[in-house]
Chain A
Amino acid sequence: MDILRTENMTKRFGGVVANDNLSIGIPKGQITALIGPNGSGKTTFINVATGVHPITSGKVYFKDQDISGMDINKISRLGIARTFQKIRLFENLSVIENVLVARKPFYKSGPMSVVLGTPKFRKEEKENKEKAMELLKLVGLEDRAYDSPTGMAYGLRRCLEIARALALEPQLMFLDEPAAGMTRDEFKVIMDLMMILKERGITILLVEHTMDFIKAVADWVYVLNFGQVIAKGKFDDIEKDPLVLKAYLGED
């Protein structure tokens, strides 16, 4: 069953067609990879599906609910989390606060109970801090909880962004080039993390350029070129597809 599917999803930026009539299904509980040469519309796909860019035409369904045209925050609250190609953290907040921001939808206390400091609010705050700490432990950042994320190593910043996305308790996660610019060790950490998430039942859509990475984790691969799907299937089959080879390597 597909947790998210698009029907003739099209995104135009002026004259440029970034996504051209895409009809894609993301199978539930699996790791799907979206690959393709630069400018083939991978990041645009994520941006449109999460509501960051308004859709030009077509539909996006999440668990059979039409989410095209919904506000970003509503889509996020339905259980779709994401990371960004260029890491976007809240630099003025500490590491744990970055994670806590994404816990806000779970708070039930209104402004009144906050100002009065009611026991209910304190309990909520304590529970969510514990939850955030758990996530930091998962990504190996528990020692840095009260540091500023500014100036942290690139791999750690990426892990923090993933922890923040996980704080939403998502069913589906979009990861936009999580392994880009990582060292070999950091790469391994992210890979292990993804397998843990898969075990927890979180569906993942991955945009990546590193083929080793995709080969190791992806159950299913879509190949995009000029905004269209040119191939789909298991990685081993895709690898030999003449259209894919042509898109990546050019014509003989």
Chain B
Amino acid sequence: MKKLIFVVGAILLIVLFPIFTNNSYHLYLMNRALIHAILATGLVFLTGFAGQISLGQAGFYAIGAYTSAYFTVKLGMPITVGVIAGIVISVVAGFLLSIPSFKLKAFFLSLVTIAFGQIVWMLVINLTPITGGPSGFFGIPFYSVGNNMLSFGQVFWLFGGLLFVSVFIMYRIKHSHFGRAMLAMNDDDVATETCGISTKRLKMAAFGFSAGLAGLAGALYAHLAGFLSPEPFTFFESSNFVAMAVVGGLRHMSGGVVGGIGLTLLPEFLRFGGWENYYLMVTSIIVILIIIFVPMGLGPILESLFRKIFRLKRSNTKTL
């Protein structure tokens, strides 16, 4: 009973977060953090579970963002349609990017994904009729129901719900024959094939899923910001997304959530209290320290802490 109260209390606290604060900058930040959490969750799936690398995730993020912006502004579609279009086109791009992974591994695959990110970035800059180029894409509609604009707090619940659904889908897939096959592929490609499993199809699915989440994140960002410029879609952002997944825990269900939220908020915390000039440097140092001293990531640590507090036992039927 005590457990239940704690758990419900913790969930309520998170859900009610928007009520405790009126500071719209804090809420905006939390919304950005949730977007990053969705994207990093896709990377945990791709890298931690299926064993593939992508250093071009900002490419999918851009595809989702600009597709949704184009559909809503230029074609006059509702936001829902724009977001779905962003996801679909990202997934298709993800399928295509999975093709090099049939033959390439590790360094070579990461080079291809970097190149993919760069290609998308160049398109963002040069495909001016669609993207607006360096001068930006303006007038993207904000979330609304009927004629009522949603508040940042309501957007927080919307994003939180989408994040929950993303993690839930990943959880269900992981604890199924698909997830086992992906973890197996992560260990040994050839042995997985001799179990009658097509690793090509698995890699396509993994790239497609992570690209879909990145596309969703991009589309959500477009309508949150209302304006798109090429800056958030550089290689720097791609590596930042990988850092989120690694810091949160590549092999842990909560890795994307912990890393995505943690690494979005950390620099902001450091911004206060006299660290203004050094906050990016300190953030990087903290990331390096976490990777060195907690290579499993913060997700597993939080989980064991949680288990200690609520005295929960680990079920022995599932690994990880």
Contact = CB atoms under 8 A, between A and B. Distances in A.
Interface of A: 50-52, 71-73, 76-77, 81-82, 84, 88-94, 97-98, 100-105, 107, 109, 111, 114-115, 117, 121, 125, 128, 146, 148, 164-165, 167-168
Contacts of B205: 111
A76 to B, nearest CB: 4
Contact of A101 (B169, B180, B316, B320): B180
Q: B interface, by DSSP: helix, strand, loop or mixed?
A: helix
Nearest to B165: A115
A88 B173 contact: no
A72 B184 contact: no
Contacts of A109: 176-177
B319 interface: yes
Interface in B167-204: 168-169, 172-173, 176-178, 180-181, 183-184, 186-188, 190-199
Contacts of B193: 51-52, 71-73, 76
21 contacts: A50-B194, A51-B193, A71-B193, A76-B195, A77-B196, A82-B194, A92-B320, A93-B183, A93-B187, A93-B319, A97-B180, A98-B184, A100-B177, A100-B180, A101-B181, A102-B196, A104-B197, A105-B195, A105-B196, A109-B177, A115-B172
Contact of B187 (A82, A91, A111, A167): A91
A101 B192 contact: yes
Contacts of A73: 193-199
B173 A111 contact: yes
B318 to A, nearest CB: 8
B178 A72 contact: no
Contacts of A164: 195
Interface in B284-320: 316-317, 319-320
**Residue of A89, A100, A104 most packed against chain B (CB within 10 A):** A104
A114 B161 CA distance: 20
B180 to A, nearest CB: 5
B181 A88 contact: no
A153 to B, nearest CB: 20
Closest 6 CB pairs of A and B: A72-B193, A102-B195, A105-B196, A76-B196, A88-B191, A77-B196
A81 to B, nearest CB: 7
B183 to A, nearest CB: 5
A17 B268 CA distance: 64
Nearest to B205: A111
B319 A121 contact: no
Contacts of B191: 84, 88-90
Contact of B176 (A51, A121, A168): A121
Nearest to B169: A115
Contacts of B184: 90, 93, 98, 101
A45 to B, nearest CB: 15
Given A90-B184, A115-B172, A148-B319, A107 B194 contact: no
Nearest to A72: B193
Nearest to B209: A111
Interface in B182-232: 183-184, 186-188, 190-199, 205
A149 to B, nearest CB: 10
Given A101-B195, A101-B197, A114-B178, A92 B172 contact: no
Contacts of B192: 90, 101
Which of B168, B181, B196 gathers most chain A CB within 10 Å?
Answer: B196
Contacts of A103: 177
A91 B205 CA distance: 22
Contact of B188 (A71, A81, A88, A121): A88
Which of the listed residues B169, B184, B198, B317 has the most CB atoms from chain A within 10 Å of its own CB? B184
B186 A92 contact: yes
Contacts of A82: 194
A72 B190 contact: yes
Contact of A146 (B186, B197, B316): B316
Nearest to B51: A92
A167 B196 CA distance: 10
B195 A168 contact: yes
B52 to A, nearest CB: 15
A167 B184 CA distance: 15
Contacts of A100: 177, 180
Contact of B178 (A93, A111, A167): A111
A105 B181 CA distance: 10
Contacts of A81: 194
A165 B192 CA distance: 11
Nearest to B179: A114
B180 A52 contact: no
Contacts of A167: 195
Contact of A71 (B181, B187, B198): B198
B176 A92 contact: no
Given A104-B178, A115-B173, 16 more contacts: A52-B193, A71-B198, A73-B196, A76-B194, A88-B190, A89-B191, A90-B183, A90-B188, A92-B187, A104-B180, A104-B181, A104-B197, A105-B196, A109-B176, A111-B173, A165-B194
